Amino acid sequence: MKQDPALELLAEFLPELQKAFSHLPEAESAGAPRNAMREVLAQVAGRMADNYPYFHPLYAGQMLKPPHPIARAAYALAMWINPNNHALDGGRASSRLEVEAVREIAAMFGWMEYLGHLTSGGTFANLEAMWVAGQLAPGKKIAASDQAHYTHGRISGVLGLQFVSVPADERGRMDVGALEKLVRTGEIGTVVVTLGTTSMGAVDPLPKVLELSARYGFRVHVDAAYGGYFKLVSNIGPEAAEAFARIGEADSIVVDPHKHGLQPYGCGCVLFRDPAVGRFYKHDSPYTYFTSSELHLGEISLECSRAGAAATALWATEKLLPLVPEGEFAAGLARSREAAVRLYGKISEYDGFLPGPEPELDILVWAVKADTLQESSQRAKEVFDRAAAEDLHLALAQVPAKYFGANVWRDAQPESKVTCLRSVLMKPEHLEWCGEIWKRLSRAANF
């Protein structure tokens, strides 16, 4: 494994940061003897080695993408001060960087006026969006596809909001016909549209949902925690492209920079099209806001303490790799998408596999051919283990059997699920490694 350039960058610029505070009197800081810390860190290194190689292209399982070196370096640099972006007192510089970084994300969706901030991740970002939804439509229900992230139902429960699950079609996308039957009742206040489901990267038909919204008057929240950055990419399919083209018409959007945005965990982002929703966040604090009359990020966030280092890393990454169509950052996403299409083609041609729906982003699922669901699921687990023995790390997923066609398994029922193989090709390097990935996968599938 090559030396991470982030370490060299940190060694170069940490002394520069320390110089800024060199005028202060020397002060003792709490610490421990170097040898004691060295012993503990040796144990940490040993324990951390018991991990999958998430950074390597042969890890093609879950949604794990290594942070960019500039993000690692900027995060560590900011951590030396450890700013807190809850208030300007605790994160003066990093709060400004957060405002600028979030502005770039909002601009990616075409928003110049908005309310938004970073969060600890997509779950909390979606919680804030659903909290505002409940404030704007009290007593109304939240609706989302049955392939939306499971936390939407949980979040609704936490907030005391009723949640309704909408069936998905054979491609894992929200069934708009089923949704219309629900919204006709007038009981739905907000519909969650997922642009990039976590199971298979399916893109809900946002344009059709927006048409229903105009007719029936519900709010639209877009959960683009996984897929949001694909707004910048031109090599996605026409239906997905139509959905991303209209994302700016939503009432709120969530995107996770710690997924495709090349950031360390945790870094999510929530945006509201109407800045006036800030009125729901207003509060009085007896101690936090004495030093500035400027708007504090803590006044537009449900979370209090938030890592200023996360904002610093995101700002640095966006400076190096601007969020513009056809730019270097977008090109990396396009390569991931191309890798998924290429691997899907190989799987489709292989007699022993059953391909799932054609990938809309960079996630694909496929089953193993067999007479029954149980046998197919068992063989998928065997391929998963054999691939791991080849140092190819995939994922297993339980998905509706209907995604693989009708009459595929003799024991399948309308609501049956099958355990299948799943791959997330979210590293740009996956494109160059497709051949090697397929070579190891085909060996693992050779029963």
**How far is Cα 71 from Cα 427, in angstroms, rounded to an integer?**
16
What is residue 287's predicted lDDT score, i.e. its pLDDT? 47
Q: Where in the chain is the domain with CATH 3.90.1150.10?
A: 328-444
What is residue 246's predicted lDDT score, i.e. its pLDDT? 98
What is residue 353's predicted lDDT score, i.e. its pLDDT? 97
What is residue 223's predicted lDDT score, i.e. its pLDDT? 98
Q: Where in the chain is the domain with CATH 3.40.640.10?
A: 79-320
Give me the sign of the Cα torsion angle 40, 42, 43, 49: positive
> How many CB atoms sit inside 10 A of residue 108's CB?
23
Q: Which residues of the chain have pLDDT under 70?
A: 1-2, 283-296, 298, 447
Q: What would the pLDDT profile of 276-296 be if each residue is shown by its tens digit?
A: 998 888 765 544 444 444 456
Q: What would the pLDDT profile of 114-142 be if each residue is shown by its tens digit?
A: 999 999 999 999 999 999 999 999 999 99
Q: How far is CA 238 from the centre of its chain?
A: 22
Considering the domain 79-320 in this protein, what is its CATH number? Answer: 3.40.640.10
What is residue 285's predicted lDDT score, i.e. its pLDDT? 53
What is residue 278's predicted lDDT score, i.e. its pLDDT? 87
CB distance 422 to 353 below 8 Å: no
What is residue 175's predicted lDDT score, i.e. its pLDDT? 97
What is residue 33's predicted lDDT score, i.e. its pLDDT? 87
Architecture of domain 328-444: Alpha-Beta Complex (3.90)
Instruction: Give the predicted TM-score (pTM) of the model.
Output: 0.94
